Chains A and B, each alone.
Chain A
Amino acid sequence: MATRGFFGRHNDPGTEGRLPPGQHLTHDFPVLSAGPTPRVKTESWTFTLKDGPKPIAKWTWDEFNALPQTKFLRDIHCVTTWSKFDTNWEGVLVDDILEAAGVEASTAYTLAHSYDGYSTNVPFADLTHGRAMVALRYEGQPITPEHGGPARLLVPHLYFWKSAKWVNALQFTSRDEAGFWELRGYHIYGDPWREQRFTGD
């Protein structure tokens, strides 16, 4: 349905093939959080790998920083319709986290948990084979608190609410359990290229 009198600005031709449907390019970095930014200190920061309720492995900030560090140059896509190209991240691949723990995936599903009580579900297949990391640095600097520092999950091929800020645990779950926004109407998977913003999309 064309809207009477609307012609639109259109996206730069250079964005073709890189901008998922319904997205527009932004050059700043908007902040969207459902609550206050939690005050997380690296001195007390920990990251826990869990199998259901059972902790498998746990790292302090120094231990986690000693794991192999990988760089990502990726486009990111927020469900609120902005996309940002060529963002630089550095952190620990989920593959390397499992390797360091000496374990393999125990189920096909995970929930990422955060210091503020946030959670989001991501199938394990979307975290492995170099597709996702726990990021510790953005554009060469420690991630600022409002963008999820000290550490955030980074799953750049899914809408950015899946890249949980202030992440402190990754949990294998026996089934695909909806997280914070997924319980509130957002899509269970969240593929920007299929425009899976909300339930039923």
Chain B
Amino acid sequence: MTDLDPTTLPSAAVRWQTAAIAKIEPNTPRVSSFWFKPTVPFAFKAGQHIDIRLTAPDGYRAQRSYSIASAPEDSDLVEITIERLDDGEVSPFFHDVAQVGDEIELRGPLGGHFVWSVADGGPLLLIGGGSGVVPLVSMLRHRAAQKSSVPMLLFYSARTWDEVIFRDELLAMHDARDGFELAFSITREPARRPIDFSRRLDMPIIAELLQRLPANPARAFLCGANRFVEQAAQGLIDAGLPPPHIRTERFGV
């Protein structure tokens, strides 16, 4: 885990700035994409995140981190996704109150480990659970924007077909047959395609995924709920991947 990418080294402070909401579009019944136009555009690497800060009239602030979904090539507008959490504080604001034209505060890019660019090469194994797919989608969009042929496989676990974020875009990317392989696992429904699964990630799935790549992955990026990520990481180690090749980003207990 010690190898360091010098291009992500922060050269200066990452300052808070104002950004306007430029576009809002639903992704799934509970997840929407929000596009922000920062006052001062910034370059970033696929996999990085931004922090967003909301301020109440009395000065109270709430702050959250969101992975960037858009490709580094589209640095004018920054896309994130927000899942509605009914008992949440920030997500109901974005889903029920926020409108195009509203201004919020954000800063970025943040995070210098869970990042990939085409120059880093591959093959790459991406494993995402639920909204953990978002930084991986940024990597895939970056790969597509660069017309890269780096072999890449995304395993994306969701509860239902309708909860798959960016589903049509991912299916279209897969249809390009340019070295990107896509495997869904829909854990509460039957698989829709013969190459998909309908159960939680286990050792037979890991063995199958590794076979679908032309060579062992040079790096694996795992993002999702902690238990999902930890189980996937330990499975990959059991399958022979060296631990330093596995990078994780987790949420929850």
- A124-181 interface with B by 8 A CB criterion: 146, 180
Other A-B pairs, 5, CB within 8 Å; known A8-B54, A200-B12, A200-B14: A4-B102, A22-B61, A116-B1, A146-B226, A185-B111
CB < 8 Å neighbour of B251 from A6, A22, A30? A30
B1, A6: Cβ atoms closer than 8 Å: no
A59 at the interface (CB under 8 A from B): no
Interface band, chain A: 35 or more
Most buried by B among A9, A36, A80: A36
Binding site for B on A (CB under 8 A): 1-10, 22, 24, 28-38, 80-81, 116-119, 146, 180, 183-185, 198-201
Does B4 lie at the interface of the complex (its beta carbon under 8 Å from any beta carbon of A)?
yes
A6 with B54: CB separation less than 8 A:
yes
B244:A35 contact, CB within 8 angstroms: yes
Asked if B247 is an interface residue, CB under 8 A from chain A, the answer is yes
| Contact status of A199 and B14, CB under 8 A, knowing A1-B105, A35-B1, A183-B4 | yes
Question: A1-B105, A180-B2, A201-B13 in contact; A34/B247 too (CB < 8 A)?
Answer: yes
Q: Using Cβ atoms and an 8 Å threshold, which residues of chain B touch A28?
A: 253
Q: Which of B88-110 contact A (CB under 8 A)?
A: 89, 93, 97-98, 102-105, 110
Q: Which residue of A lies closest to B251 (CB)?
A: A30
B41 within 8 A of A: no
> Interface size on B (CB < 8 Å)?
50
Interface contact A80-B65, CB-CB below 8 Å: yes
Given A30-B226, A117-B244, A118-B1, A3-B252 contact (CB < 8 Å): no
Q: Which residues of B contact A183 (CB under 8 A)?
A: 4, 9, 112
Q: Could you say which residues of chain B place their CB within 8 Å of the CB of A117?
A: 1-2, 244
| CB atoms of B233 and A5 under 8 A apart | no
The CA-CA distance from A107 to B252 in the complex, in Å, is 38
Given the complex of chains A and B, what is the CA–CA distance between A198 and B110 in angstroms? 9
Residue of A nearest to B225 (CB): A31
User: Known: A1-B105, A22-B61, A116-B243. Is A36-B233 also a contact (CB below 8 A)?
Assistant: yes
**Residue on A nearest B104 in the bound complex, by CB:** A3
In the assembled complex, the CB of B112 is this many whole angstroms from the nearest CB of chain A, namely 3
